[in-house]
Structure 1
Amino acid sequence: MAAEPPSPAEELAANGCEQCKDSHPAPDLEGESPMGSERMETRKRQTSAAPETSGAIQTQPGVGNRGSNACCFCWCCCCSCSCLTVRNQDRARAHELRSEIIPYCEESSTPTLEEVNAWGQSFDKLMRTPAGRNAFREFLRTEFSEENMLFWMACEDLKRETNKNLIQEKARRIYEDYVSILSPREVSLDSRVRDLINRNMLEPSKHSFDDAQLQIYTLMHRDSYPRFMNSDIYRDLVESFSQKSAEA
């Protein structure tokens, strides 16, 4: 009589699991051993404790919830900081104060043809009159460099101030609006002038930006003024006042 083939249980008991027979023994055919029951209980306790541990890790401050508790000085997550709202509010207030000091267009009397012609002969004469500065500002706006004129005008306003507290406040606003690398209206200054401004800002005065103002004035004179003389804005002004003078 041929021997009966071994049952799957007997084969497994004899050979063990092919993939992981070294990691665990074959089960007892007669029933689970006491050691197996202890393992089952231990696994159940570990499984039930896992969600609680996971939840504790997620709620741990600075790990899963880092964005909401981020430090205001951490650049990588500052978009979620509450200080961003405060910073935007400060910029809005600074813009309102700046608008009070430097209007969009200065009040000025209507220039004569002689004055308009003089603007084409001397940059100094152009910058001395409100009407000339308005015309030049209009041109700078088309070249997206109006901040140069605004900075120069802000420095002029600072030098006329006599109140010490207002001098410090205006100096701080000028720095934030036109010198800080974070400002969208930053003017082009060399490193020497920037270092000087940083030292001056330790004790701001009405002359804290004198070197920077001169550098921007020279930049406008050499770079923007020649193009202004050849622009349609200036040509139209000359033509308009020439016609008015001829009609009179």
Structure 2
Amino acid sequence: MPTPHETEKQHVGPQEADQPPSMSSHDAAPPAVPSRNPCCLCWCCCCGCSWAEERRRAWRVSRENKLQPLPGCEACATPSPEEVRSWAQSFDKLMHSPAGRSVFREFLRTEYSEENMLFWLACEELKAEANQHVVDEKARLIYEDYVSILSPKEVSLDSRVREGINKKMQEPSAHTFDDAQLQIYTLMHRDSYPRFLSSPTYRALLLRGSSQSSSEA
């Protein structure tokens, strides 16, 4: 003979039987109210509030759309033969040339060090920002993307520069990453730039410029 519990279970539909028992009004957990204060002030990767994550995702998508494909404004203008030759005169001339930055970034991509240029460009974008709220958001994104040890795009920075960034991130500014940007700039100059000048990519540009000059003559 079935027990009262089994009898009651027989009258419950299959969908209802699979559902967890409903909570009474006394047992129901209060609705979670997002608190902005703890997350607004933290700069690390542990922030999990949805509003902050949505804003970060929006900034990341916006920046990736601008920086990842190279058919943007930096790649649209074909450099003149004189401009291409000037890139061999100094690293500053290469980095001050939009076309030079585009070509150099493509070279860094072949060496799996494109994050150095992306970080440098992100710092330049941050320094041009005047809105403090936007500065806060971009600084957090730069930290998460290029400084955090958890990021696959982490750039190589020494401990002194990292400690300085960690302190400045308490109150981010447009110049929070100046020391780090200079260190990465120096790294690209000393390490990648000499290889770029002897690379097939740069030699092909020189040859194209030479042939263009000969045809015009």
Shared fold, TM over 0.5: yes
Partner Cα distance (1:88, 1:161) in 2 = 21
Partner Cα distance (1:182, 1:119) in 2 = 35
Say if 2:61 is the partner of 1:96.
Answer: yes
Which consecutive aligned stretches of 4+ in structure 1 deviate over 6 angstroms post-superposition?
Answer: 86-91
Larger Rg: 1
Q: Residue 142 and residue 90 in structure 1: after superposition, are their counterparts in 2 closer, same or farther (change >3 A)?
A: farther
Report 1 or 2 for greater relative contact order, CA contacts < 8 Å, sequence distance ≥ 6.
Answer: 2
Q: CA RMSD in A?
A: 2.2
Residue from 170, 188, 193 that aligns with 2:161: 193
Residue from 60, 73, 87 that aligns with 1:107: 73
Say if 2:206 is the partner of 1:238.
Answer: yes
Instruction: Give the AA of the match of 2:87.
Output: W
Residue from 111, 119, 134 that aligns with 1:151: 119
For residues 184-227 of structure 1, give each alpha carbon's deviation from its aligned partner in whole angstroms, at most 9, with x where no partner exists.
Answer: 10000000000000000000000000000000000000000000
Question: Counterparts of 1:154-165 in structure 2 under 5 Å?
Answer: 154-165=122-133
Shift of 1:95: 3.3
Question: Counterparts of 1:168-187 in structure 2 under 5 Å?
Answer: 168-187=136-155
Shift of 1:244: 1.4
Partner Cα distance (2:152, 2:57) in 1 = 13
Instruction: Give the AA of the match of 2:63.
Output: R
TM-score w.r.t. the length of structure 2 is 0.71
SS at match of 2:89: coil
Instruction: Give the AA of the match of 1:97.
Output: S
Assess if the C-alpha contact under 8 Å between 2:126 and 2:174 holds in 1.
yes
Number of aligned pairs?
165
Partner Cα distance (1:156, 1:227) in 2 = 24
Instruction: Give the AA of the match of 1:244.
Output: Q
Residue from 51, 67, 85 that aligns with 1:117: 85
Assess if the C-alpha contact under 8 Å between 2:157 and 2:183 holds in 1.
yes
Say if 2:181 is the partner of 1:216.
Answer: no
For residues 48-106 of structure 1, give each alpha carbon's deviation from its aligned partner in whole angstroms, at most 9, with x where no partner exists.
Answer: xxxxxxxxxxxxxxxxxxxxxxxxxxxxxxxxxxx7xx999887545313224535324
Over the matched positions of the two proteins, sequence identity in percent amounts to 60
Q: Which runs of 5+ in 1 are unaligned?
A: 1-82
Instruction: Give the AA of the match of 1:130.
Output: P
